[in-house]
């Protein structure tokens, strides 16, 4: 069995997490030549405005397409962190928005690697568009984990974002890389 | 176990099939209050430009998130029809673009219900935008199968399409409903 990496992107509707999941999966498959499954499961929480997207990336065929033990969890809201932190495997990466997520269950905080960065405020203040927080988040996530190559991610972003927004999104991606680099230095 | 319906939307990249899958899943869950899983699996065919999206809709929890026996298969290209027609269950619905899909494996044509309609040409000629073929296809598919309610589909389309394109997409949806109604008459 090849190496399998499970990623969940969680927050609220309108944060572009499904698009982020599709971009990450396409980076892995079309540009990095791995296999991937990207999915969203919707239950009652979707009617309450929550949103989550999953990406499983593997060198080999993916037999079971649902995440069972997350390697990487991104949370852009406190609610999503409360709900999903239990699904992260010991030693896994919990990447949260520094301003939105104030509390992490203490029992889990000790078992996982927590990275707090200003994703949404960077999108708003540096890029001028809260809408690109999803791309900033992807940049940081990939800079820290290298779950896909940075070139593959860049190509996948360019392949998916609306025409005319390429520069905006590349700036957002670069800001995300920078957040990831800064974090690594600390 | 509740009633489970498995849908696959297949064609080529750029036809908006992932968005169509997301819209269908959101119609089922946010507006019709069912459960759904929406996914894309990417293998080597994705690098060749093929695209497919799956939606599983159920009244109950969805334990196994991968399609095993399709109830409904949409094919917008000959290649996707050749590849996936074998995954449709006996008695299932094969909905194809009339101008793109010229040949259906004879052994399967006898076992499934085949519906050929001019999806892409309707998008191009009636709406003036080939890009909305995905919405035309959803309209026809839902008119024929009622896998979600038409109201739910309409709301889900409005919730997902870019601002400023609402009327265009509602026209595309209405044309899809009309194609479905015409087919039913014959």
pTM value is: 0.94
* Residue B151, number of CB atoms within 10 A of its CB: 11
Asked if the model's pLDDT at residue B90 lies above 90, the reply is yes
Q: Looking at chain B, which residue has its C-alpha nearest residue A54?
A: B39
Q: What is the pLDDT of residue A185?
A: 67
Q: What is the pLDDT of residue B43?
A: 82
Where does residue A129 rank: exposed (0-12), middle (13-18), buried (19+ CB within 10 A)?
Answer: middle
ipTM above 0.85, yes or no: yes
Interface touch B29/A38, C-beta < 8 Å:
no
pLDDT by residue (tens digit) across A120-142? 999 999 999 999 999 999 999 99
Q: Which of residues 36-95 of A touch B (CB under 8 A)?
A: 36-43, 46-47, 61-62, 65-66
Which among B29, B43, B61 is the nearest to A46, CB-wise? B29
Q: What is the pLDDT of residue A64?
A: 78
Is residue A35 within 8 Å of residue A59, measured between CB atoms?
Answer: yes
Taking the CA of residue A14 and the nearest CA in chain B, the distance in Å comes to 9
b/e per residue B64-85 (b: at least 16 CB within 10 A): ebbbeebbbbbbbbebbbeebb
Q: Looking at chain A, which residue has its C-alpha nearest residue B160?
A: A14
Give the Cα separation of A10 and A8 in Å (integer). 6
Confidence band (pLDDT; 50, 70, 90) for A38? Answer: very high
Give the Cα separation of A134 and A76 in Å (integer). 9
Strands B70-75 and B4-12 come out as: parallel
Asked if the model's pLDDT at residue A69 lies above 70, the reply is yes
Q: Looking at chain A, which residue has its C-alpha nearest residue B34?
A: A43
* Helical H segments across B66-165, by residue range: 78-84, 106-109, 119-121, 133-145, 150-160
Q: What is the pLDDT of residue A2?
A: 65
B140-168 average pLDDT score? 96
Which among B40, B61, B62 is the nearest to A25, CB-wise? B40
Asked if the model's pLDDT at residue B2 lies above 70, the reply is no
Q: Looking at chain A, which residue has its C-alpha nearest residue B67?
A: A65
Confidence band (pLDDT; 50, 70, 90) for A63? Answer: confident
Q: Which residues, 6+ apart, have CB-to-CB distance to B65 below 8 Å?
A: A39, A41, A65, A66, B37, B39, B56
Interface touch A22/B18, C-beta < 8 Å:
yes
DSSP lists the bridge partners of residue B53 as: B9
The number of residues in chain B equals 186
* Residue A102, number of CB atoms within 10 A of its CB: 10
Taking the CA of residue A136 and the nearest CA in chain B, the distance in Å comes to 21
Check the CA dihedral A120-A20-A39-B162 and report its sign. Answer: positive
Is residue B31 within 8 Å of residue B38, measured between CB atoms?
Answer: no
Give the Cα separation of B123 and B143 in Å (integer). 17
Taking the CA of residue A99 and the nearest CA in chain B, the distance in Å comes to 27
Interface touch A42/B39, C-beta < 8 Å:
no
Domains of chain A: 4-185 (3.40.920.10)
């Amino acid at each position: 069995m090849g190496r399998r990496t499970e990623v969940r992107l969680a927050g609220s509707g309108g944060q572009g997490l499904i698009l982020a999941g599709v971009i990450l999966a396409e980076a892995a498959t079309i540009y990095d030549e791995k296999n991937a499954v990207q999915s969203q499961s919707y239950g009652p929480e979707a009617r309450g405005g929550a949103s989550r997207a999953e990406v499983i990336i593997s060198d080999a065929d993916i037999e079971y397409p649902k995440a069972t033990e997350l390697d990487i969890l991104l949370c852009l809201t406190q609610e999503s962190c409360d709900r999903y932190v239990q699904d992260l495997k010991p030693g896994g990466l919990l990447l949260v928005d520094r301003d939105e997520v104030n509390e992490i269950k203490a029992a889990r905080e000790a078992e996982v690697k927590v990275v707090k960065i200003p994703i949404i405020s960077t999108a708003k203040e540096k890029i001028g568009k809260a809408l690109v927080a999803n791309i900033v988040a992807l940049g940081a996530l990939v800079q820290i984990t290298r779950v896909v190559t940075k070139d593959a991610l860049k190509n996948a972003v360019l392949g998916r974002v609306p025409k005319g927004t390429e520069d905006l999104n590349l700036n957002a991606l670069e800001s995300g890389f920078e957040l990831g680099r800064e974090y690594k230095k600390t």
